Structure 1
């Protein structure tokens, strides 16, 4: 089962990457069985915490989002995560030949590497149930660091390249990931200006 890889990547990542490389699951099946499920964690938790729990900054009063606003932002976040994983997977396959990958002809490898590398980020979404900004920032920063390490660790195994080339390949992919992140943030600003921004209420 694809979801079993989520736990294996934390306990024995090397063996798990080797198993993932052998599977060659289709990108569609990988998305439906893995990405769609795990990517939903953060939006659902964010909706619950922002619409029902609320948060405070310093000694200020409790702040929440309206139900409609929380749903809209959660759905947009979910879509952005799905697009981001696909874009990163596409970039992995696109740059594969440049770095001497032997598996670039398998279209599922790039998506698989992107999806499974993002597992810590997906699971970090549970932290949003405790809506404290500094706590959420710390959890997601740690998850991002482990995701980056997973990608570096998995590149030579899944894409069939030398370990030395994984450093440059991984650096290029992290740059792509940052571009995707900045793009989504820019898109958020545009959508907010179009009226799909957060609507706050007092708790």
Structure 2
């Protein structure tokens, strides 16, 4: 039984373990699998991209956080839930936009354009960063997320030549360009989220901890 043929939950866990522990061979399998934008989102992107927002929300509710002056506070539940939902929705949009960017850049690096393969790259390369979202359960160690982000960069480097058929040194340049796009996307998501949540925080107030 292949990963794709397993029950959904078991198949999802198996694929996560495979891409993290055996990335090279798993990328080869991913490249050959039939997929659609819908199947990638419903079967992989939606559940995994929710890890970070959900864990961050739980961490804020349980432990609170600290403001610019070092004072501890606990945001209201409505604000925490709203932030989690917004972060999740924005991350779903960012995944698709990054896939479009990779697809559009492909010819610049001698690669072939393929929107579904581009989405596969973004979805599966981001696995490590999404899983590292569990560190948000305890705010003081949430910065360990960067370890997952770094491994996602490595997964991106391995996946691009296999799925987009980019050769040699161009794979490094393509990886760098895609990483820059991802950073810009993350920065913009953060700005938009803060713009939306800032007024909500001011309106609902906070609870000292």
TM-score by length of 2: 0.86
Name the CA distance, whole Å, in 1 between partners of 2:77 and 2:201.
13
Segments of 5+ residues of structure 2 without an aligned counterpart are: 5-10
Query: 8 Å contact 1:24–1:108 — kept in the other structure?
Result: no
Cα deviation, residue 197, structure 1: 3.5
1:11 maps to 2:11: no
Matches of 1:83 and 1:61, distance apart in 2: 33
Ranges in structure 1 where 5+ consecutive residues have no aligned partner: none
- Displacement of 1:61 after TM fit? 6.5
Determine which structure has the larger helix proportion and give its number: 2
Contact 2:66–2:72 under 8 Å retained in 1: yes
Provide closer, same or farther for how the CA distance between residues 63 and 89 of structure 1 changes in structure 2, counting only shifts above 3 A: same
Q: Hey, what does 2:121 align to over in structure 1?
A: 113
Superposition CA RMSD, Å = 1.9
Give secondary structure in 2 for the equivalent of 1:162.
coil
Contact 1:85–1:114 under 8 Å retained in 2: yes
Residue from 60, 70, 77 that aligns with 1:67: 77
For residues 1-203 of structure 1, what are the structure 2 equivalents within 5 Å? 1=4, 3=12, 4-55=14-65, 62-102=72-112, 104=113, 106-132=114-140, 135-137=141-143, 139-193=144-198, 195-197=199-201, 199-203=205-209
Contact 2:24–2:158 under 8 Å retained in 1: yes
Q: Tell me how far apart the structure 1 counterparts of residues 196 and 72 of structure 2 sit (CA, whole Å).
A: 25
Aligned residues: 195
Moved more, 44-53 or 165-174: 44-53
CA contact (8 A) 2:87 2:193 kept: no
Using the alignment, how far apart are the partners of 1:62 and 1:39 within structure 2?
Answer: 28
On the 8 A contact 1:24/1:109 being kept in 2, the answer is no
Distance 1:93 1:81 in 2: 18
**Structure 1 segments of 4+ aligned residues over 4 angstroms from their partners:** none
Does the CA contact (< 8 Å) of 1:50 and 1:131 recur in 2? yes
The more displaced of 2-11 and 67-76 is: 2-11
